[in-house]
């Protein structure tokens, strides 16, 4: 009988301990934090040109597409067909700079943001980087609320986090969770060591901030892992340190320049680790060295295993690529290499990656009445289009002369009145010289096809 009482007492004690643990594990109260940081978060409203596939889906009944596929002939529509999209962004400075995702504003003809106080402001694209999915916007004005930038290195797995954004257009929605993992590599991507969380993110959250408990931004919400298109417990954010490095380059240069070593790599698995006499799978195996590359000049060879970069151990290939991406071109790096069962140090001078991000932010407003936002074509774009020079139309102001003349975002302007347009400055000078004419002939390339448009100048 006494034993039973002792057991009951122990059971009661266990219940008391469990109740205490449950109380300490209760959800974090983010209410004060949401009130504090919400004014610096905005909704992004974007107008984009519809693709041919989207036009087809809109105009052709599903039953016809099911039987005839995309071979159904549809009448050509007059003027560009547009759609609206939405996302999120946040202020990083009092003078109106905002961070969002590249995919939120990609191919946008117009961008505006809605503030916490319901003001709607037009935004211009400063620059955008597809590889990291980071974009920078700018609105006119001052004294905007700016968010504090946190230290991702201090972020721990299991730590509570908060996300604010506009899922499905429902602006200023807050969702909370914990950090599920760090340095996630998704689908072979190597530019971003994603922060994985279980915060409920959905379409529209993209570009919004991820906060720690101190109200500091630690990430830019970017994507979800889903089989349905909706939230399934796996959300991914760009670490804020990665994003801010891209932001700085976009603000300074209008594009992102990356380092280049010139090697192909693969991870070390269990069998390779045994073959290379490594204590565990670690490092990154060089499978190919590009001719005349910085790697070849430094003496790296196929079959080498890179174990360290500047003294920092490399666990897997993604670690190596993340590290190299953070080092500026023309800098020297010391690589710890395993070759012929012996380790050695090899110094390499990084080059500049040949596939640099196009300078999507180098925008020139040629004339307020014309209403064009343009940039120069990159060398790669010129080669692809087989043109010499040319300018890319980034956005078209609604109601401007260009819009009324049926010039749309995505057009490439090659000629004006027979004069070859080599760059944005030349286009501006040519238009200024012809400003007294009523209409000028503008040669364009639209969706790979050449055409001529009459641009009215007054």
Beta-sheet pairing, 216-224 with 148-149: parallel
How far is it, in rounded angstroms, from Cα 374 to Cα 408?
A: 11
Alpha helices for 101-173 (secondary structure H): 102-105
* 183 classed as catalytic: no
* 415 classed as catalytic: no
Count of residues for the chain? 458
Cα–chain center distance at 44 = 15
Identify the active-site residue in 133, 319, 395, 411. 133
Identify the active-site residue in 88, 166, 173, 206. 206
In terms of C-beta distances under 8 Å and separation of at least 24 residues, what long-range contacts does 395-399 make, across chains too? 395/108, 395/109, 395/110, 395/111, 395/125, 396/109, 396/110, 396/371, 396/372, 397/110, 397/371, 397/372, 397/373, 398/110, 398/371, 399/371
How far is it, in rounded angstroms, from Cα 413 to Cα 424?
A: 10
Answer whether 290's CB lies under 8 Å from 263's CB.
Answer: yes
Answer whether 72's CB lies under 8 Å from 25's CB.
Answer: no
Alpha helices for 346-416 (secondary structure H): 379-385, 401-404
Identify the active-site residue in 38, 93, 95, 103. 103
* 103 classed as catalytic: yes
Taking the CA atoms of residue 21, residue 181, residue 43 and residue 213 in that order, the dihedral angle to the nearest 10 degrees is: 40
- The burial of 206, by beta-carbon neighbours within 10 Å (0-12 exposed, 13-18 middle, 19 or more buried), is given as buried
Active site positions, annotated: 103, 133, 206
């Amino acid at each position: 009988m006494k034993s039973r009482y002792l057991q009951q007492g122990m059971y009661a004690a266990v219940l008391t301990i469990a109740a205490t643990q449950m109380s300490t594990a209760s959800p974090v109260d983010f209410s004060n934090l949401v009130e504090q940081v919400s004014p610096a978060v905005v909704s992004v409203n974007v107008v984009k040109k519809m693709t041919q596939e989207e036009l087809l889906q809109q105009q052709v009944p599903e039953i016809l597409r099911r039987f005839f596929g995309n071979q159904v002939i549809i009448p050509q529509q007059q003027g560009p067909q547009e759609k609206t999209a939405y996302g999120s962004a946040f202020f990083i400075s009092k003078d109106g700079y905002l961070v969002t995702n590249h995919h939120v504003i990609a191919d946008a003809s117009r961008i505006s943001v809605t503030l916490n106080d319901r003001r709607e402001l037009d935004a211009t694209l400063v620059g955008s980087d597809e590889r990291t999915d980071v974009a920078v916007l700018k609105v006119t004005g001052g004294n905007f609320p700016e968010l504090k930038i946190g230290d991702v290195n201090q972020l721990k797995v299991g730590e509570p986090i908060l996300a604010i954004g506009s899922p499905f257009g429902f602006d200023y929605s807050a969702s909370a969770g914990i950090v599920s993992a760090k340095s996630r590599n998704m689908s072979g991507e190597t530019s971003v060591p994603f922060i994985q969380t279980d915060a409920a993110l959905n379409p529209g959250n993209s570009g919004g901030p991820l906060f720690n408990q101190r109200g500091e931004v630690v990430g830019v919400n970017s994507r979800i892992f889903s089989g349905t298109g909706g939230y399934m417990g796996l959300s991914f954010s760009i670490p804020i340190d990665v994003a801010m490095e891209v932001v700085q380059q976009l603000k300074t240069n209008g594009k992102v320049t990356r380092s280049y070593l010139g090697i192909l790599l693969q991870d070390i698995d269990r069998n390779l680790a045994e073959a290379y006499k490594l204590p565990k799978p670690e490092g990154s195996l060089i499978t190919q060295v590009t001719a005349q590359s910085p790697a070849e000049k430094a003496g790296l060879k196929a079959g080498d295993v890179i174990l360290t970069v500047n003294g920092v151990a490399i666990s897997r290939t993604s670690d190596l690529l993340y590290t190299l991406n953070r080092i500026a071109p023309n800098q020297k790096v010391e690589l710890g290499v395993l070759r012929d069962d012996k380790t050695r140090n090899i110094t390499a001078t990084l080059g500049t990656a040949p596939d640099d991000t196009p300078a999507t932010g180098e925008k020139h407003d040629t004339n307020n009445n014309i209403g064009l936002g343009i940039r120069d074509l990159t060398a790669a774009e010129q080669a692809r289009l087989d043109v010499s020079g040319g300018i890319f139309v980034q956005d078209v102001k609604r109601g401007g002369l260009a819009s009324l003349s049926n010039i749309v975002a995505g057009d490439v302007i090659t000629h004006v009145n027979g004069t070859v347009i080599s760059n944005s400055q030349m286009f501006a000078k040519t238009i200024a010289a012809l400003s007294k004419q009523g209409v000028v002939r503008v040669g364009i390339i639209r969706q790979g096809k050449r055409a001529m448009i009459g641009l009215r100048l007054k």
